[in-house]
Amino acid sequence: MVTKETTVPFFEMGPIRPPSEAHSLLIRVTRNCPWNRCQFCRTYKGQKFQLRTVDEIKQDIKTAKTIQDGIKELSWQFGYGGKLREAARMVLNNPFNEAYYNIALWLYAGGESAFLQDANTLIMKTSELVEVIRFLKKTLPSINRITSYARSKTAAKKTLDELIELKNAGLSRLHIGLESGYDPLLQYMDKGVTAAEHIAAGKKVVASGISLCEYVILGLGGKVMWQEHATETARVLNKINPDFIRVRTLSVTNQMPLYSEIENGNFVRATDEEIVKEEKLLIEKLECHSHFVSDHITNLLQEIEGGLPQDKEKMLASIDRFQSLSPEERQNFIVGRRVGIYRQLDDLSDSRQHERVEQVIRQLSQGDNHVEEKTIYTLMESFI
């Protein structure tokens, strides 16, 4: 990537967005996380939370438009007749800076979606956020979908009228980290929110008409609290009835406070097989009308996806299929997934891939063909 030059337009972007917003225009409306204490999170550790002024954000939106117009111009210059997709592809191959890359990716995907960063956009005054959303839509009218992250604690404090105002301004979806519905676990992880607040916030967002995606962390209960984690999370989700439930699997790095809890033995991680058992219990207990998604790279069984309640049996059948494998085949699948050879259970029947995984197992084991859990965690964490 060409490095940033002062004369080249540039706007600020935060570090993350949900997987489903990979092609969205990224507009940073606040910096970092105002809570920043969750034990399992490393994203903003060491960074101070800051609100940005509406003027600052508007300036970034104007810069995004300047870059978009420049790409349009390129399209004419290179004989694409103003077609943005082709010009965007050229820019993607050699972007001037990260902002160009983001705009080109966004235009390549159709230029319809924007994601407001960072961790808790709802913390802005509602009137200011409404102003930003309206300005964004007016300046870049191809945008018809605007989404953002929010904390339940903050969403619970907004009135229903405020959320409706945001919805009417153009806020289409909120992504909320539920993580768990089990109060002792939420407290232990220092999530700063209770199950009751999760429910109050979620129900209010749903009532406002803003689409809601709730994130759950599989394995968050470890070996001790997995059962309560699964059942209470399902109970909370059933009360909220979000549009989407997205699961990802606990992964731990040494930038997270949870790392030292594991090192000193206070938290014992669940194995992949135990997490599958937990996921089965969670799905069995879900009685909501939500779309369940497990597309995150950390999830062992990414194929578990579908609409609830109609696809519940299909999703549970994938789990049964994994659990009915012999211990050797389960290990083969786990290692194959964690080194990136397999994508789904069907891949087990590919004899070439299967043999490659067996070779990896021989390399990773101490001659007994058994791969330690610690090694599996390290392999998984190499993806994040």
Q: Give whichever of 31 and 338 is closer to ligand SF4, judged by the CB atom.
A: 31
Smallest distance, Å, CB 35 to ligand SF4? 4
288 binds ligand SF4 (CB under 6 A): no
**Residues 136-155, interacting with ligand SF4 (CB under 6 A):** 151
Per-residue mark of binding to ligand SF4, 5-24 (x: CB under 6 A): --------------------
Distances 325 to 298, 355, 362 between C-alpha atoms, Å: 21, 17, 20
The binder of ligand SF4 chosen from 26, 114, 119, 216 (CB under 6 A): 119
Distances 290 to 115, 210, 214, 317, 380 between C-alpha atoms, Å: 22, 14, 10, 18, 28
The binder of ligand SF4 chosen from 26, 27, 29, 38 (CB under 6 A): 38
The residue written with tokens 């699964």 in the block is 230
Q: Which stretch binds ligand SF4 (CB under 6 A): 32-40, 126-134, 135-143, 199-207?
A: 32-40
Smallest distance, Å, CB 119 to ligand SF4? 4
Q: Which stretch binds ligand SF4 (CB under 6 A): 30-38, 47-55, 102-110, 234-242?
A: 30-38
Tokens of 163: 């959320």
35 binds ligand SF4 (CB under 6 A): yes
The binder of ligand SF4 chosen from 8, 9, 43, 85 (CB under 6 A): 43
Smallest distance, Å, CB 211 to ligand SF4? 19
Determine the size of the site formed for ligand SF4 (CB under 6 A).
11
Q: Cα 31 from chain centroid?
A: 18
Smallest distance, Å, CB 190 to ligand SF4? 8
DSSP classification of residue 306? E
The binder of ligand SF4 chosen from 13, 26, 41, 348 (CB under 6 A): 41
Tokens of 118: 């960072």
Other C-beta atoms closer than 10 Å to the C-beta of 27 total: 27
Q: Give whichever of 43 and 142 is closer to ligand SF4, judged by the CB atom.
A: 43
Smallest distance, Å, CB 222 to ligand SF4? 17
List the end-to-end C-alpha distance of the chain, in Å, as a whole number.
21
Smallest distance, Å, CB 77 to ligand SF4? 42
Q: What is the 3-state secondary structure (H, E, C) of 188-252?
A: HCCCCCCHHHHHHHHHHHHHHCCEEEEEEEECCCCCCCHHHHHHHHHHHHHHHCCCEEEEEECCC
**DSSP string spanning 147-194?**
EEEE-HHHHHHS-HHHHHHHHHHTEEEEEEEEE-S-HHHHHHTT-S--
Using N-to-C axis directions, what is the helix angle for 327-338 and 312-323, rounded to 10°?
110
Smallest distance, Å, CB 158 to ligand SF4? 16
The binder of ligand SF4 chosen from 30, 36, 152, 172 (CB under 6 A): 36
Q: Give whichever of 41 and 335 is closer to ligand SF4, judged by the CB atom.
A: 41
102 in helix, strand or coil? helix
Per-residue mark of binding to ligand SF4, 172-201 (x: CB under 6 A): -----x------------------------
Residue among 269, 282, 208 at smallest CA distance from 242: 208
44 binds ligand SF4 (CB under 6 A): yes
Cβ contact 220:185 at 8 Å:
yes
Smallest distance, Å, CB 81 to ligand SF4? 43
The residue written with tokens 């090694």 in the block is 375
Question: How many CA atoms within 13 Å lie on the side-chain side of 84?
Answer: 17
Residues in contact with ligand SF4 by CB under 6 A are 33, 35-38, 41, 43-44, 119, 151, 177
